[in-house]
Structure 1
Amino acid sequence: MGFSALVASALCTFLLPLLLFLAAVKLWDLYCVSSRDPSCPLPLPPGTMGLPFFGETLQMVLQRRKFLQMKRRKYGFIYKTHLFGRPTVRVMGAENVRHILLGEHRLVSVQWPASVRTILGSGCLSNLHNGQHKHRKKVIMRAFSRDALQHYVPVIQEEVSACLARWLGAAGPCLLVYPEVKRLMFRIAMRILLGFQPRQASPDGEQQLVEAFEEMIRNLFSLPIDVPFSGLYRGLRARNIIHAKIEENIRAKMARKEPEGGYKDALQLLMEHTQGNGEQLNMQGLLCSPNQEKQLDMEVLEQLKYTGCVIKETLRLSPPVPGGFRIALKTLELNGYQIPKGWNVIYSICDTHDVADLFTNKDEFNPDRFMSPSPEDSSRFSFIPFGGGLRSCVGKEFAKVLLKIFTVELARSCDWQLLNGPPTMKTGPIVYPVDNLPTKFIGFSGQI
């Protein structure tokens, strides 16, 4: 082969793919620019759109908080990007978030990534719209009323107390608390929300459900490609395991006339309502300082003002989910920029907490900051651990009750020491400690 042939071969092998890649990047840039609404005089927010098709999804998934912090420092409180196959604007700050959350059904509508919609299902509360969402939320809220929560308190207290006794009796110098807490919270949720009794599941069966739930959550945000070993495939398989167990429990409940355990769990309340109104029960819809020696109840818990402040401060620093997804129903204007119709909008909870002017010394853990009343109007969107507006978390009061009971029982049962000091937290997609929280527990009798 002659020299000219070698050069031609090299050009075809290396130069042509490079030129095609550069052309694809240029076309991608032109597409991103042309997708702005020409009828709106405002510019698109600053930012970058990443690689063709993939956008900046891979960087966000791999780097998480580091990637988002870099974007915030470079572009401010509103910037454009391309995530999960869609052009996206990420929004933070109390005033900007207020505009988005209060614009539900008028400016924006909920739209989670395709993988989330597929795994959770179209009938899940978070995927419903307008009248369907309003009706379903009203039904589900019956299971989280104050009267319902009152019935749940003794069950939660029983589970937490038994768990702490196991921790104190565990052999070894330390316990990995994070996986233990996940198991405890899952067990409480299964009893309270779905009526599973402790005798109904073996330790192996319970662990299988815990692992299935973790697998489902881990793969919620994945590429929408359902092939073996893909994230979506694993998430769907885990969801099916959970659905099968719930359906088995529903059939058992429908065969009984009286609830077990002396209280009505959330599933029982929802079944009674749907049956009384001739509605069909949908699996995807369901998935989704006083004397401390007193028996806990709602009245006692409501008096624990400072405990509530400790929980709020924890949620401020480490909100359980990083944000929420919306889609622009029409081109809207926000803080001098346009968000074109059809673009995704992500409102950031963690960044909004970080930048809130309402909080001083933001990195300091200081529950006292919540002892004084917060300013009304837009400043209330400076603290949004459970979202806000029409789609605020339906189970937020249940979560607060559970966290208060856990805190009270922990404080009056034992002392503890985090062996690695304050934990480093990561998000994937929920917040978690990277070291699993190795902890030494000491009973007040002095016994480890």
Structure 2
Amino acid sequence: MILGRKAVAVGVVGLLALTACGRGDGGGEGNEASTARPAAGASVNDDPAAGDITVWAMGEEGERLPDFVDGFTQANPEAEVTVTTIPWGDVMTKFQTAVAAGTVPDVIMIGSSFMPTMVATGGLAPVPEGLVDMGDFVEGAADSTVADGVAYGVPWYVETRVLYYRADLAQQAGLEAPKTWDELTAFAQGLVGNGADYGLQLPMGDAEDSSQVILPFFSQAGGVAVEGEEWTLDTDAMVSALEFYGSFFADGLSPLSGYGDTQSNAFIDGTIPTFISGPWMINVLGDLADPEWVEENVETAVVPAGSANNDSYIGGAHLGVFADAPNADGAWKLVRWLSQPETQQAWFDTTNGLPALTTAWDYEPLQSNRRIAVLEEQLANTIAPPTVPSWDELSATLETEAEKVANGVVTPQEAAATIQAKGEALGLGW
């Protein structure tokens, strides 16, 4: 099944006058500086890969990948793959240090939010012509690899956020999964009226990355973060998003503190029986409670729609190759292997990571899982963070202003104006 979608890419904008800074024009071969935007690299042939291929990867993926790539080395016996696991918090520092020192590995796993900053350093090579067909990937993920028409990474796995709720408590309260903003408010009110302390958990502030909820609210209200080369955040859509977010705190439907520390336990004990999060939470809840209890009492649904759509946040990871990779040919062949449908299906079996390749979804373990069916439906309507370097700093301002709105310190209108002013001061960051 090919995923239907309407994914919005908010920030795929021009890379204006990007200098190469060591970026090669041929899939990693050659590293002469150039003021021209690089073209996609030369094509990669079908010969077996050979030589040492070094990879930096993070998190659970970094722990699982060393054994998983045995399938690649069996098919390419002259190649050897070495995977180094990097803590997520150290990625950008190590990336920038390695690029500056010329001591890069071959392949790097790229959290989708890191892509614009990595591209801006000149450390990544363009994806070679014909390596993969970007039209075969979930569009929101594919869009976030592109700057000025050039792809600098290949989507590896994707995730999006859905609504988790205690189905048993909702049933007792006579409630069905909400489909609109108004219904979400009523759903939270109904749960509080039937014994819950709060109706909905929402993240607050930079530490909890509340932008991953507020950005979808903004899109659901019809907002677009970047138009041309300008931030467009002081709009009715941003005001509506901040009003909606703040209303849950003002009305006592969401707690003003403790989200990160209490989210899972509060959900399990029923004191806050609804939240928005990603697919990993099924395992988290199963570890804390019991998988059988989760199966019986926990349901997921696509996020409720605002006036424009029901976009949710899309994340995940890409695979990129350094511009100065010692073994660029072997690196791209490994990336191509990891992008094949059967490989992505095997990766799902290993990690539960959702395939970025749409054709990989024609797989019985994916199609027969009701929770994954919800994720597949949600992936048709997603919003990615703006793919510009200044988003990281601007998103911190968004989170700070949203927290002020939640605490009644500023109005949504004042917050939207502050966020826009910060965006104008930062520019896009290229």
Q: Which has the higher helix share?
A: 1
Category of TM-score, reference length = shorter chain = under 0.3
Q: Give TM-score scaled by structure 1 length.
A: 0.27
State which structure, 1 or 2, has the greater radius of gyration over its C-alpha atoms: 1
Q: Give TM-score scaled by structure 2 length.
A: 0.28
